[in-house]
A and B are shown apart, each in its own frame.
Chain A
Amino acid sequence: MFGKRIDYTGALGFIAFMALLPLVFGGNYLIGVLTVSVIYGIWAVSWDFMSGLTGRENFGHSLFIGVGAYTAGFLNTTFGIGGWWSLPAAMLMAMLFAVVIGLPTLRLKGPYFALAMLSSAVIMQRLMLIFWEQTGGEEGINGIEPLIRSQLGFYYFALAALVLVTALLLALARSHWGLILRAIRGDEATCQAAGINITFYKIASLVISAAFAGAGGALYAHYQLQVSPQLFAVVTSITIITMVYVGGMASIYGPVGGAILLVLLTELLRNFGEWRLMIYSCTLILILFFLPNGLIAPTWRRLKARLGRPQ
Chain B
Amino acid sequence: MNKFSALFCAACFAAGLAAAPAAAQTKPIRIGVPTSMQLQVGRDTQDAIQMAIDDINAKGGVLGRKLEMVVADETENPETGISAIKKLTADEKADVLIGGYTSGVTLAQLPHISAAKTIYLGVGAASPSITAKVKQDYDNYKYIFRVGPIHAGNQAKQVTGFISGFVKDELGISKIAIVGESAKWVQDLVPVLKKGATDAGADVRLTEFFDSQTSDFSPLLAKIKDSGAQYLIVILSHASSDIFAKQWHDARFPIPYGGIDVKGMDGDFCDRVGGKSISEIAANFAVRAPLTPKTIPFFDEFKKRTNRSPVYTAFGANDAVYIYAQAVGRAKSTEPNAVIKELEKTSYVGIPGTIEFDEMHDVKPGGKGPNFLFVQWQDKCTREVIYPKAQRTKAYITPAWIKK
Contact = CB atoms under 8 A, between A and B. Distances in A.
Q: Do A and B have CB atoms closer than 8 angstroms in the complex?
A: yes
Interface of A: 17, 25, 27-30, 32-33, 36, 129, 132, 136-140, 142-143, 224-226, 228, 230, 257, 261, 264, 267-268, 270, 273-274, 276, 299
Name the prevailing secondary structure of the B interface residues.
Answer: helix
B211 interface: yes
Contacts of B37: 273-274
B268 interface: no
Contacts of B182: 129, 132, 137-138
Contacts of A138: 103-104, 182-184
A139 B73 contact: no
Contacts of B79: 36, 224, 230
A299 B107 contact: no
Range of interface residues on B (Cβ < 8 Å): 35 or more
A137 B187 contact: yes
Interface of B: 1-2, 4-5, 8-9, 11-12, 16, 37-38, 71-73, 77-79, 82-83, 86-87, 89-91, 103-104, 107-108, 110-112, 116, 127, 129, 182-184, 187, 211
A139 B8 contact: no
Given A36-B79, A136-B184, 6 more contacts: A137-B182, A138-B103, A138-B104, A140-B108, A228-B104, A270-B73
Contacts of A137: 182-184, 187
Nearest to B92: A29
B91 A29 contact: yes
9 shortest interchain CB distances as A-B pairs: A28-B90, A29-B91, A29-B90, A32-B86, A139-B104, A226-B108, A139-B184, A225-B111, A29-B86
Nearest to B127: A139
B91 A224 contact: no
A247 to B, nearest CB: 12
Nearest to B13: A25
A274 B83 CA distance: 16
B83 A32 contact: yes
A130 B54 CA distance: 46
19 contacts: A25-B9, A27-B90, A28-B86, A29-B83, A29-B89, A33-B83, A36-B83, A136-B184, A137-B183, A138-B103, A138-B184, A230-B77, A264-B4, A267-B87, A268-B11, A270-B87, A274-B38, A274-B73, A299-B2
A57 to B, nearest CB: 23
Contacts of A270: 72-73, 87
A142 B103 CA distance: 12
Nearest to A257: B2
Nearest to A230: B77
